[in-house]
């Protein structure tokens, strides 16, 4: 299996970085091919702009998604975008490794999605969910969070973790066609003892060894809707 790890943490000695390093080692030991995009180390530019396009379809008015589609077809995307898109299309599985910031992902990773999930390659028109451009590929989040498990459930102070991650799991990964595996979560990591961190890493190692046994999360199929995306009458 070909695995891309997209890592977004600004501290190389962080627990999130330790999770990334473990995944590289463990997946390599299993015989998988692994590439890593370490966004902070790469000094990744997260800002989507007209500079992303070498050939403008409309030089007078920027519609970013339409310019993505045009430049993808013309092979005139900015080199940093094309390089990451090549990795994305190469991979059978992508692991997104990051800390939770404000119920979401770090801005640098959001900017990676904005620029690399290119219309015409990843989505566009009716190419979404089970007809998206990344159908056949798997994705998984490996995340760290300051909260404890009891804070992230129904009735908990922050509400269910699933609700927090919905814009990523459904609105980004499932939308683009990925089979989305259940996320792996390292809870309360800024505050726990070293032995507890070791235990989480062991849990993660076991998760990485059982990827083939994980059932993807369930999302909608376009077969459930008519040509205008109204729900079909059952």
CB 89 within 8 A of CB 137: no
For residue 36 the two structure tokens come to: 């890593």
Neighbours of 90 (CB within 10 A): 12
The confidence score (pLDDT) of residue 233 equals 79
pLDDT for the residue 215:
96
Structural domains in the chain?
Answer: 2-224 (3.40.50.360)
pLDDT score recorded for residue 167: 97
Helices (H), 4-91: 15-29, 64-74, 79-90
For residue 229, is it left (φ>0), alpha (ψ between -120 and 50) or beta?
Answer: left
User: What does the mean pLDDT of the chain come to?
Assistant: 96
Enclosing H/E stretch for 6: strand 2-7
Q: Decide: 20 and 184 in contact? Cβ < 8 Å.
A: no
Cβ atoms of residues 6 and 92 within 8 Å? no
Tens-digit pLDDT profile for residues 197-233: 999 999 999 999 999 999 999 999 999 999 899 999 7
As a dihedral over the C-alpha atoms of residue 104, residue 105, residue 111, residue 112, rounded to 10 degrees, the angle is: -130
Tell me: pLDDT of 234 over 80.
no
CA distance 47 to 60: 20
Q: What tokens were used for 54?
A: 């070498």
**How does pLDDT run across 109-136, given as a tens digit for each residue?**
999 999 999 999 999 989 999 999 999 9
Q: What is the pLDDT of residue 151?
A: 94
Rg (CA), the chain: 19
| pLDDT tens track for 173-205 | 999 999 999 999 999 998 989 999 999 999 999
Q: What angle do CA 33, 35, 40 make, to 5 degrees?
A: 165
Beta-carbon contacts of residue 72 (< 8 Å; ≥ 6 apart): 85, 118, 119, 120, 121
């Amino acid at each position: 299996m070909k695995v891309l790890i997209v890592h977004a943490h600004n501290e190389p000695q962080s627990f999130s970085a330790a999770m990334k390093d473990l995944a590289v080692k463990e997946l390599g030991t299993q015989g998988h091919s692994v590439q890593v995009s370490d966004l902070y180390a790469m000094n990744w530019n997260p800002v989507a702009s007209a500079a992303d396009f070498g050939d403008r379809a409309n030089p007078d008015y920027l519609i970013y998604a339409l310019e993505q589609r045009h430049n993808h077809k013309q092979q005139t995307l900015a080199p940093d975008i094309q390089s990451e898109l090549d990795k994305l299309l190469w991979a059978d599985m992508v692991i997104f490794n990051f800390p939770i910031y404000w119920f979401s992902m770090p801005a640098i990773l959001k900017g990676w999605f904005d620029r690399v999930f290119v219309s015409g390659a990843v989505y566009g028109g009716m190419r979404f969910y089970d007809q998206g451009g990344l159908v056949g590929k798997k994705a998984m989040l490996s995340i760290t969070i300051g909260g404890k498990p009891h804070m992230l459930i129904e009735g908990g102070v922050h509400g269910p973790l699933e609700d927090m991650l919905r814009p990523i799991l459904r609105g980004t990964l499932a939308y683009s066609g990925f089979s989305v595996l259940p996320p792996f979560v390292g809870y309360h990591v800024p505050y726990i003892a070293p032995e507890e961190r070791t235990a989480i890493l062991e849990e993660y190692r076991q998760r990485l060894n059982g990827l083939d046994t994980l059932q993807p999360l369930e999302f909608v199929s376009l077969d459930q809707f008519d040509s205008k995306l109204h729900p079909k009458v059952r």
